[in-house]
Structure formats: structure tokens, C-alpha cells
Amino acid sequence: METTRNPVKRFFKWEYAWLLLIVIVTLVLHFMIIAQPAQPLFDEQHYVPDARAIIFQHLTNRGEHPPLAKLLIAGGIEIFGDNQYGWRIPSIVFGTLGIIFFYLMCRRFNLSRRAAVLGTLILATENLYFVQAGIAMLDIFVTSFSLLAFWLYARHNYALACMAVALATLCKYTGLFAIFPIIIHWFIYRKDQNIRLAASLMLSGVSFFLLMAAFDAAIYQRVTDFLSSFWSGMQATGSLTFVTAAHPSMSRPWEWIFNLEIMSYNFGPHFIGLVSFSVWALTVPIIAYMTFKSFAYRIFKSIKQDEAALFGVCWIIGTYVMWIPLSLITNRVSFIFYFLPTVPAICLGLGKVLDYCVGYWLAPRKKKVPKPVLPVTTVNETTLPAATEPIPEMETPSPEIIASAEAITTGEVIQTVENTPPETISTPQPLEIIPEIPEIFPEAIPVAEIPILPGKWWRKGKLQWAAISFVVIFFMVHFATFIIVAPPLNNWPIQNWFP
């Protein structure tokens, strides 16, 4: 039994044990549903035919997007065939890599192992991330390359971080938003290696255009005017506005956090674009919490600045808040799945909060200050008289002793009076005889306090119970949302639930 238990303990002490289990479970769930449906769903109807055009006709019909993600989908078809596996395996691979990059980034930002595991578990079972990681769309590639950039930035590898941002932008132009969290966080917190960061940003821009030219050449099998392709793509994507588009699920960026936006991708099995209720409901509180952790040190000197929380705030500003002025200025149409690159930032904050709650629960209960206790006198039993023996009474002096004492005293007084002036003579006071009291308590009397009885092992404070209850309720809601909403567990005949 001991030999069986030790390897298990050693495994779970390994840094990446829980990450490995999360990755395995998510991969199993993805491959359970990868073959369903058998035809392209939602925007797969655009990107799968475009990947076929890249392979067989050496052209692209989706010029509004840069080429990298489309080439990755085409590569999946080349390797695994023109079927469900070829369409979706690249997304599954990059979605899994995004989970790994997220965990590594959390640890590099000095989150505890428990906080990193909790945040990674939430991200892996978040509905929008899971759905996007299982279908042939561009957004999961953008998110994965952004997470790679953030991990490299946490390692102070600015050159590779900026290169990863360039790769995210080559998947979709909104991948450029990933550079803003890096710049904002560096300006507020780090301010180191100025020349290296500036050179890395310039290298990122140059690499973007060079790689775009190379990828376009790979698609068209010839050298093309990639600048014209870039400009025409920007014009095409800008032409989709709330006026020209008529999609029923389009939404404004501020609605993503204040309205529970639901976007149906497919029925049977059900693929639904929806941020998990457990994550959506706590988005605003988590933003407030991370903002407080980031800047409270300026007010309270006892609070240290939290680098991870600060990066989470910068992350939300860069990948989400930027959408608000962009939407107001350009009127560009937007959908709930545009919020996907911001979802890991909320999961980071949730991991920190839940880790604090679990740690608070596990901490020993704080002892209350005891009330003042009256001292208790302890008596040596050997010094007390026996209970059956009466306490001896004091002896009364005999009349002869009293008379002799009075005579002696009277004689001394007469002799003193004869030698004393009359005016100083006063009436003598009677002599008070104090009988000798026997010593009953001869030894020193020690003082002891009544000890406070210790609490039972299960006894916790009310706040500790509230903390662990919050953790339990959160995961109950989170996993229930995943089971009900996310494939493959939601493939039930919903139409039969209603009369």
C-alpha cells in the first residue's frame, strides 16, 4: 500500500500534475464531439471552403482576414483529410496550447500553484473558450498566440513576446490588441530595458508585414502586392457595420459584460456562443477587485502592489475596453465571441479570489482575546487541619497573670509620673492584650488561572464558512453551466422538454 501511495503523492507534488490532468480531460471532451456535426457549422461555412480554395485553387475568398489562421485550417485538412477532423483539430491543438500558456503565465506572474490551477480549470471549462477551441474559426488562434505573448512578456522576453503579437495579428487584425496590455503594464510597473522593448516593437511591426508577404506567397504560389491585400482587407472588415449588417446576434461591446449575450452556432449537438454564467456574473466584481489590488498600495502603505492583478487590469483595458471607442467611432459590427481574448483575464482574477478563499478556510481560526479571569487560590492540603479535628481555641490568661501585669504597669507609671512635670501627665490607657493567633496557612499561596477550553477541529469562524461556501457554490454553478450549455454534454432533445 505504501509503494502505491508514494508515486501518487510524488505525482501530485509535481508542478504540472494538475495541468496535465486538465489538458487530458479537455482533449477527451473535445474528441468526443469533434465528429459532430458532420457538416461545417456557423462560421466554419466560411473558413472551411476558404481553406479548400487555398489548397486546390491557390487563392483566398476571405480577404478581409490575414492569412495565418486560414493556413492553419488548410494545414489540418492536408494532414487529416477534408473532414471534421481536418477542420477542427488545429483549433483543438491551439486551444489546448492556450490553456498551457495561461498556466505558465500565471506562475511567471507569481500566482501560487493553487491559484494557477484554479484559474486554468475555470478557463478550460469556460463555455465560450471550450466552444471556440473546438470549431474551425479564427478567434481561438488569436487568443492562443496572445497568451503565448503574455507568457513570454512575463519572462521578460520582449522580442519573442512582440513576435507572438505579430502572429496573433496575422490570424486576425484584432490580435494587435494584445500589444496594449504589454505596453500599459510595462509603462506602469516595469520600465526596464527601454531600448530592447522599443526594438522589439519595431521588429514586431516589420515581422508582421514580412510574414504576411510570405504567407500570401504561400497561398497564391507567387509574390503578391501584400500591401494592397492588407489595405483591401482593412476596408472589407471596416465595411461591416451595424447599419450594413443584419445579424440577429450582433451586440455592442458594453453589452458583453452587462447582458448575458447568447449566440447560437448549431443545434444537435448544441454549440452556443455564451460566456459561462459563473464567469459573466463576476466579471465586474473581478475587474473591481483586480483594480483595487493594483492601486490600493498608493493609499494603504501596508498593501503591496500586485503585479498579476495589475497585468489583468491592463489585459482587460487592452483587449476589451479598446473595443468601446472603436465601436463608437467606426460603428463596426461586433459579436460576443470577440470577447474571447478577454475571458482568460477574468479567469486569472477568479483564480486569485478563489485561492484566497481556500487559503482563508484552511488557516487556523483566530483565537479570541480571553476575558479577565479571577485568580483561584490553591491551598496545600497538608497545612489544613483535619476535617474531624476542631480548630483549637485561644487560651484565656489566668487572673494572676493579668494582676501581675497590671501591678508592674502601675508601678512603672507611678515612677514615671513622679519624674514628669504635672502639665505633661496624662491619664494612662489600659493595656490591650492581643492573643497569639495560630498560623494556619504557613506556606506561600500560588495563583492559577482557569484555562480556556480549545475549540473542536471542525469549528471555523463565520467568515471562513462564508469563504469556502462561495468557492463551492461557484464551482457548482460553473460546472452546471458547462454540463448544460457546452458540448458534448448537452446533446439532449431539448424540444421534448416543452409541451
Give strand pairing partners of 447: 377
CA distance linking residue 481 with residue 388, whole number of Å: 80
Q: What is the mean pLDDT of residues 372-384?
A: 51
Q: Of 14, 34, 46, 491, nearest to 269 (Cα)?
A: 491
Residue 234 has pLDDT above 90, yes or no: no
Mean pLDDT of the chain: 82
Residue 404 has pLDDT above 80, yes or no: no
CA distances 336 to 289, 332, 485, Å, are 23, 13, 15
Residue 2 has pLDDT above 80, yes or no: no
Task: Work out the pLDDT band at 470, boundaries 50, 70, 90.
Answer: very high
DSSP string, 122-176: HHHT-HHHHHHTTSS-SHHHHHHHHHHHHHHHHTT-HHHHHHHHHHHHHH-GGGG
Task: Work out the pLDDT band at 51, boundaries 50, 70, 90.
Answer: very high
Residue 125 has pLDDT above 90, yes or no: yes
Q: What is the mean pLDDT of residues 74-79?
A: 94
Residue 3 has pLDDT above 70, yes or no: no
Asked whether 430 and 413 are in contact (CB, 8 A), the reply is no
The residue type at 334? S
The number of beta carbons lying within 10 Å of the beta carbon of residue 203 is 16
Task: Work out the pLDDT band at 495, boundaries 50, 70, 90.
Answer: very low
CA distance linking residue 363 with residue 476, whole number of Å: 23
Q: pLDDT per residue over 131-164, tens digit each? A: 999 999 999 999 999 999 999 999 999 999 999 9
Asked whether 18 and 48 are in contact (CB, 8 A), the reply is no
CA distance linking residue 387 with residue 389, whole number of Å: 6
Q: Of 23, 176, 12, nearest to 97 (Cα)?
A: 23
Q: pLDDT per residue over 271-328, tens digit each? A: 888 999 999 999 999 999 999 988 887 777 667 778 899 999 999 999 999 999 999 9
Give strand pairing partners of 65: none
Pick the more confident residue, 346 or 60. Answer: 346
Q: pLDDT per residue over 253-276, tens digit each? A: 999 999 988 888 887 778 888 999
CA distance linking residue 21 with residue 168, whole number of Å: 27
Q: What is the per-residue pLDDT for 325? A: 94
Determine how β-strand 447-448 pairs with β-strand 376-377: antiparallel
